């Protein structure tokens, strides 16, 4: 959503420079940095959200609990923590597509989606997705929705963090939760992209 998208190499160089500064200034140790990386690679992140979605797709009772109280349902799977105290799941249907944003800053359900992507925090995204969500989805993300689908935009805050329960794709009846995991993307849980196509 910025004027120029930075390459992965540029981003990596910036991260390395910041890491070095924090360590040199005594703000963090190498061990603390390694632990933070481990947390965000294995203990929080979109792989955990995908686990919740796959469970909801497979278990109607769990899905009902998730839609009723996302934070409590996630705790059943051992998923909770900072920025996940008050989560709300909004469910996509044949006629409604949901998108999340935080118009004030970058409130985001970290325990299930990990760190927010840079574009999520971009003021251009935050402003545009609320005004012209269908256009932003199509032009910025290549995600075109048909005119008969209503697009609802949910504004997260520090009191309420939304995320999307995407629709289970046709053709996955009888699939295990492990098989379903491969279809669920971070972008589908933000609402800016589809689940992966069924192979």
Write the DSSP assignment of 13-35 as a string of letters: HHHHHHHHHHHHTTSS-HHHHHH
CA distance 60 to 88: 17
What is the rounded average pLDDT for all residues in the chain?
89
pLDDT at 80 over 90: no
pLDDT at 8 over 70: no
Mean pLDDT, residues 20-35: 84
Q: What percent of the chain has pLDDT over 90?
A: 64
* Cα 79 → chain centroid: 14
Of 16-20, 31-35, 61-65, 117-121, least confident by mean pLDDT is 31-35
* pLDDT, position 82: 59
- Comparing 140 with 85, the larger pLDDT belongs to 140
Do 58 and 177 touch, CB atoms closer than 8 A?
Answer: yes
Give the active site residues: 102, 105-107
Do 134 and 81 touch, CB atoms closer than 8 A?
Answer: no
Give the confidence band of 2 by pLDDT, cuts at 50, 70, 90: very low
* pLDDT, position 13: 83
> Using CA of residue 36, residue 38, residue 44, residue 45, what is the dihedral sign?
positive
* pLDDT, position 81: 64
CA separation, residue 88 to residues 31, 73, 150 (Å): 34, 10, 19
CA distance 195 to 26: 42
* pLDDT, position 1: 44
Domain spanning 46-190: CATH 3.40.50.10300: no
Domain locations in the chain? Answer: 8-40, 46-190
Give the confidence band of 129 by pLDDT, cuts at 50, 70, 90: very high
pLDDT at 186 over 90: yes
Q: Quickly count: other Cβ atoms within 10 Å of residue 74's Cβ.
A: 25
∠ CA 73-74-75, rounded to 5°: 90
- Comparing 194 with 32, the larger pLDDT belongs to 194
**Rg, C-alpha atoms of the chain:** 18
CA distance 104 to 11: 24
Residue of 140, 53, 131 lying closest to 92 (CA atoms) = 53
* pLDDT, position 187: 96
Do 36 and 43 touch, CB atoms closer than 8 A?
Answer: no
Do 93 and 69 touch, CB atoms closer than 8 A?
Answer: no
Do 49 and 163 touch, CB atoms closer than 8 A?
Answer: yes
């Amino acid at each position: 959503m910025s004027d120029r998208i930075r390459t992965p190499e540029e981003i990596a160089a910036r991260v390395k420079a910041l890491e070095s500064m924090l360590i040199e200034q005594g703000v963090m140790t190498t061990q603390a940095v390694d632990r933070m990386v481990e947390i965000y690679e294995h203990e929080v992140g979109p792989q955990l959200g995908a686990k919740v979605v796959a469970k909801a797709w497979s278990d109607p009772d769990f899905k009902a609990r998730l839609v009723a109280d996302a934070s409590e349902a996630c705790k059943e799977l051992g998923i909770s923590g900072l920025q996940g105290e008050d989560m709300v799941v909004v469910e996509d249907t044949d006629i409604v597509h949901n998108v999340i944003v935080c118009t004030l800053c970058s409130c985001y359900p970290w325990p299930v989606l990990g760190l927010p992507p840079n574009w999520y925090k971009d003021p251009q995204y935050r402003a545009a997705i609320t005004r012209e969500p269908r256009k932003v989805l199509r032009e910025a993300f290549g995600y075109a929705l048909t005119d008969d689908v209503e697009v609802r935009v949910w504004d997260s805050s520090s009191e309420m963090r939304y995320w999307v329960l995407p629709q289970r794709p046709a053709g996955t009846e009888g699939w295990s939760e492990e098989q379903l995991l491969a279809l669920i993307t971070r972008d589908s849980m933000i609402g800016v992209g589809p689940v992966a196509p069924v192979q």
